[in-house]
Amino acid sequence: MDYKKAASEVLENVGGEENIVSIMSCFTRVRIELRDVDKVKEAEMKKIEGFQGLNWSANTIQIIFGGHCNDVYDELEKMIHIRGGKDSAKDVIIKKQPAGAIVIDYIANSIQPIVPILIASGFLQSLLAMLNYLNVDTTTYTYQALNAIGQAGYYFLPVFLGFASAKKLRVNSYLGALVGAVMVYPALIELGSAGGTASFLGLPVTLVSYASSITPVLISMPVVMLINKLAKKISPKVLSSLLVPIITMILSVPVILIVTGPIATWIGNGLCGIIEFVFTKLSIVGGIIIGAIAPYLVMTGVHNGIALPITLTELASQGFSYFFPLLAYGNIAIGGAALGVWYKTKNSRIKTTSMSASLMAVVGITEPALFGVLLPAKRPLVALGIMDAICSAFSLMFGVKCTALSLCGLGGLPAFFGDTFVIWCILMVASFIGAFLITITVGFHDIPEEQEA
């Protein structure tokens, strides 16, 4: 595949460099935030080599390239020069969007850039947890260095998330990181861990520990954005570079510590309570509902704005997640359904594509199978919701959990190691086989090779 050519065609069909606000990538998608979405040529985009599908989230187009995503992104990044500064997005044409879509877009695009950090740290945490069963010496420098990687990604999560969310809201990213750093400053963490109240210039402060938290940063950063805009308005031009960051921080941090931080913590705790109630009291019903929906969140492109916050909230509050395993059953069901297409099709190109896509889905990367195989085949998509719903119900019934964020499939195996590991493995096998059998039973409209010529 010619990645440079693909990147050039992407650039051309999104309206050129002048129509781009920002770009980022995940495992399978190049995400481009645009000034004017009407300039996108979707029909031409579909002709690009390696193209597997696209989704929209507000003004952001998500172009799916599967395993070629990062190569295309690297070439695209070389071709464009994002204009920064206060005027970088003044001419963005915002289409009217539902409030929920705007919130999900903000959350998803704030969390997406830090996912590699969470996966790396989560993998190390899970691996070390496995080694602890072997009674390894935890006092060695080697162990402590690896443990630092595993712990730091989550402990300093407010710093990373502050940087990413500030960038999304077009606030100076380093001010966002500083806000996060203040929230995990050791003296404030120590006071917050003790609980109770304190006083800031006579105003009451509810003491809370913000280490490993996500909700306080996400809710607080829009406040920082508004104060930053105010600081730019009231600061004389000649002193703006000096006064804007000072005013932003001096006004933002008290508001966060007094108002938004504690409120966000209460919201997070309430969300955890709701999740725990659903997962423990309504396990079968909750599992069926969540499992039936989960595989299709990826298709709509909102999975990062919904699934990741729930998982991270669980991990931060209780050290494990009941929700994340439910996503894994859907992922491996996608692999099973893609294998069913491989088994049934007479088209050699589809057979090759479906086999490789099936293997990637089993590992935890599902977009190639979803958009390259199952969406064109249509009918096999029903297998995903059926098997994920069944396996999720049993998963919650037996309390299957994971201990870290990782690839949501066999690629993240260490994260699921523990007292429910065997049950998780059984459910994963059942989901894969079940989706395979449903696919070969319901069938699909195969495309003869002569029609593709």
Q: Residue 214 carries which side chain, given as an amino acid letter?
A: I
Given a contact cutoff of 8 angstroms between Cβ atoms, the answer to whether 206 and 154 are in contact is: no
Digit-coded pLDDT (tens) for 125-175? 878 877 777 778 888 999 899 989 988 988 899 999 999 999 889 899 999
Residue 92 has pLDDT above 60, yes or no: no
CATH 3.30.1360.60 assigned to domain 3-84? The reply is yes
Quick one: average pLDDT of 278-286?
77
Instruction: Return phi, psi of residue 24, to 5°.
Output: -155, 170
Give CA separation, 315 vs 49, 230, 268, 309, 328, in Å.
39, 36, 12, 10, 16
Residue 180 has pLDDT above 90, yes or no: yes
CA atoms of 267 and 252, how far apart (whole Å): 20
Given a contact cutoff of 8 angstroms between Cβ atoms, the answer to whether 448 and 400 are in contact is: no
Instruction: Return phi, psi of residue 57, to 5°.
Output: -140, 100
Q: What percent of the chain has pLDDT over 70?
A: 92
b/e 261-276 (16+ beta carbons within 10 angstroms → b): bbbbbeebeebbeebe
Quick one: average pLDDT of 63-73?
82
What pLDDT band is residue 85 in, cutting at 50, 70 and 90?
A: very low
Give CA separation, 69 vs 6, 51, 53, in Å.
10, 9, 12
Spatial CA neighbour of 196 closest among 246, 146, 99, 262: 262
pLDDT at 349: 79
Spatial CA neighbour of 431 closest among 298, 344, 336, 360: 336
Helix (H, G, I), strand (E, B) or coil at 86: coil
Q: Report CA Rg, the chain.
A: 23
pLDDT at 61: 87
Is pLDDT larger for residue 371 or for residue 423?
A: 423
Number of Cβ within 10 Å of residue 127's Cβ equals 17
pLDDT at 87: 45
Question: Helices 157-168 and 215-234: crossing angle, nearest 10°?
Answer: 50
* 228-235: long-range pairs with CB below 8 Å, 24+: 228/171, 228/172, 228/175, 228/252, 232/86
Q: What percent of the chain has pLDDT over 90?
A: 31
- The domain ranges of the chain are 3-84, 156-268, 282-452
Lowest mean pLDDT among 7-16, 95-104, 120-129, 425-434: 95-104
Quick one: average pLDDT of 398-402?
90
CA atoms of 231 and 269, how far apart (whole Å): 33
What pLDDT band is residue 304 in, cutting at 50, 70 and 90?
A: low
Q: What is the largest CA-CA distance in the chain?
A: 79
Residue written as token pair 């800031």? 200
Residue 71 has pLDDT above 80, yes or no: yes
CA atoms of 166 and 147, how far apart (whole Å): 29
Given a contact cutoff of 8 angstroms between Cβ atoms, the answer to whether 218 and 110 are in contact is: yes
Nearest 5°: the CA angle 262, 404, 368 is: 115
Average pLDDT, the chain: 85
Residue written as token pair 């806000």? 179
Whole-structure pTM value: 0.71
pLDDT at 453: 44
pLDDT at 302: 63
Residue 207 has pLDDT above 70, yes or no: yes
pLDDT at 86: 45
pLDDT at 393: 93
